[in-house]
Amino acid sequence: MKFRSISGSLCYISLILFLLIAWGRELSHTARSNLFQTAVSNETGAFPASPLDTEPASGNTAASESTRQPELLSDYKSSFPELYAWEDAAVEVTASPQKTVYLTFDDGPSKNTGKILDILKQYEIKATFFVIGKDLSEEGIENMKRAAAEGHAIGLHTYSHDYKKIYSSVADFLSDYDLLRQELEEQLGFSPTIFRFPGGSYCSYGTDIRTELITEMTRRGYTYYDWNVSAEDAVGKVTAYSIRNNIFPRVYEVNAPVILMHDAPLNNLTAELLPEIIETLLTEGYCFETLETREPLHFGE
Ligand SMILES: [Zn+2]
């Protein structure tokens, strides 16, 4: 009887041990398979990269959207995932001859852009165009394509050029800028890497977000250019005399001058005076280059 009771207990203990081992194996298999899934998800990026990509877990979707909206706006760093400078279009600073001048035209394209392109072609020189998107016409798109094909540089100058709107917050600026990026990618097949802040990087709008905005645009791979000579051809009463006077002799006093001019619809006078400006600079021994070959020029540095 004693022997039977001992062997009975042994059988019972063996059964428990067996069940425990089987359970342990199942547990470790589940853990391994979870690990594998995580690894695969990280590799393929199938898992949400940020909380912003996650779908609302349950409940009223509209309500969840409205509660997520402020988070989206403040978390501008993970918004606009396409808004990064293309690597193959990066700025490559080349050693420039001592007397190089950089003509830049903002706020186009317009009916004046074609005239300016004709003049640049006639003198076989290059320039840079900082374009805005809101009034882009068929003709404007053709002129931008032509400018790119003829070796000029194209830069971004925001979609709306609406100071109040774009300088309200970093997210507002990025949102507006992203519209133009998309438009140019669609129309030209590429997206410029250089840009110019409307009003320059040190204008009176958006002073509270300036540093943050510059840091964010730089993080996204974009390079901005201010200017060191301004034709002042877009403010006040503009005359041939005032344009000449604003450019000369200032242009001779700065290193690698970057001249701000405009090719907006009202800038007929700029286009008219351009041959004279170019000829004066050629006589003085200057050559002309596009901006992305120059060291970035920033106000206050
Ligand atoms: Zn402008």
Given CA atoms 274, 279, 281, 287 in this order, what sign does their dihedral have? positive
Shared-domain flag, residues 37 and 119: no
Residue 65 lies in a domain: no
Residue with tokens 């009463």: 237
Neighbours of ion ligand 1 (CB under 5 A): 106-107, 198
> Does 256 share its domain with 107?
yes
CATH number of the domain within which 107 lies: 3.20.20.370
**pLDDT at site 46:** 29
**Domain of residue 3, residue span:** 1-46
DSSP state of 51: G
Q: Is residue 26 part of a domain?
A: yes
> Is residue 63 a part of any domain in this protein?
no
Residue 100, pLDDT > 60, answer yes
pLDDT exceeds cutoff 60 at 6: no
Shared domain for 163 and 275, answered yes or no, is: yes
Please give the pLDDT value at position 5: 54
Q: Distance, CA 63 to ligand 1 centroid (Å)? A: 39
pLDDT tens digits for range 184-207: 999 999 989 999 999 999 989 999
Question: Quick one: 109 and 215 in the same domain?
Answer: yes
Spatial distance between the Cα atoms of 24 and 11, rounded to a whole number of angstroms: 20
Active site residue 135: no
pLDDT of the residue at 109: 97
User: Which uninterrupted H or E stretch holds 106?
Assistant: strand 100-108
Backbone angles phi, psi at 81, to 5 degrees: -65, -20
Give residue 73 CA to ligand 1 midpoint distance, Å. 25
Whether residues 32 and 166 fall in one domain = no
Measured CA to CA, the distance from residue 112 to residue 137 in angstroms comes to 13
Is there a domain that residue 64 lies in?
no
**Are 19 and 99 members of one domain?**
no
Cα gap 229→252, rounded to integer Å: 10
Share of the chain above pLDDT 70, in %: 71
Q: Supply the pLDDT for residue 82.
A: 85
Q: SS3 of 269, please?
A: helix
pLDDT band at 89 (very low <50, low <70, confident <90, very high): low
Let me know: does 289 contact 126? Beta carbons within 8 Å.
yes
pLDDT tens for each residue of 135-189: 899 999 999 999 999 999 999 999 999 999 999 999 999 999 999 999 999 999 9
pLDDT recorded at residue 279? 98
Does 102 lie in the same domain as 40? no
**What confidence score (pLDDT) does residue 301 get?**
82
* Mean of pLDDT over the chain: 80
Q: In this structure, are 265 and 147 located in the same domain? A: yes
Q: Does residue 70 lie within any of the structural domains?
A: no
Apex 293 CA angle, 288 and 296, nearest 5: 110
Convert the pLDDT of each residue in 259-286 to its tens digit.
Answer: 999 999 999 999 999 999 999 999 999 9
- Judged against a pLDDT cut of 80, whether residue 214 lies above it is answered with yes
- What residue type is assigned to position 186 of the chain? E
What spacing in Å lies between the alpha carbon of 38 and ligand 1's midpoint? 48
Domain co-membership, 119 together with 21: no
Q: For residue 3, is pLDDT > 50?
A: no
Asked about 157 being catalytic, the answer comes back as no
**In terms of Cα–Cα distance, which of 199, 262, 268, 198 is closest to 231?**
262
Q: What is the pLDDT of residues 14-63, one digit of tens each?
A: 545 554 544 544 444 333 333 333 333 333 322 223 323 333 333 333 33
Cβ–Cβ under 8 Å, residues 196 and 166: no
Q: What distance in Å separates the CA atoms of residue 4 and residue 129, rounded to the nearest whole number? A: 99
42/112 same-domain check? no
| 67 occurs within a structural domain | no
- Look at residue 258 and tell me if it is in a domain: yes
In a domain, 262, yes or no: yes
Residue 73 clears pLDDT 70, i.e. is over it: no
Q: CA 254, 248, 130 angle in degrees (round to 5)?
A: 70
**Number of domains the chain is built from:** 2
Angle separating helix axes 170-188 and 210-219, nearest 10 degrees? 40
Q: Are 46 and 37 in contact (CB under 8 A)?
A: no
Q: Do 122 and 259 belong to one domain?
A: yes
Going from the Cα of 208 to the center of ligand 1, the distance in angstroms, rounded, reads: 20
Look at residue 13 in the predicted model and tell me its pLDDT: 54
Looking at the DSSP bridge assignments, the partners of residue 130 are 106, 155
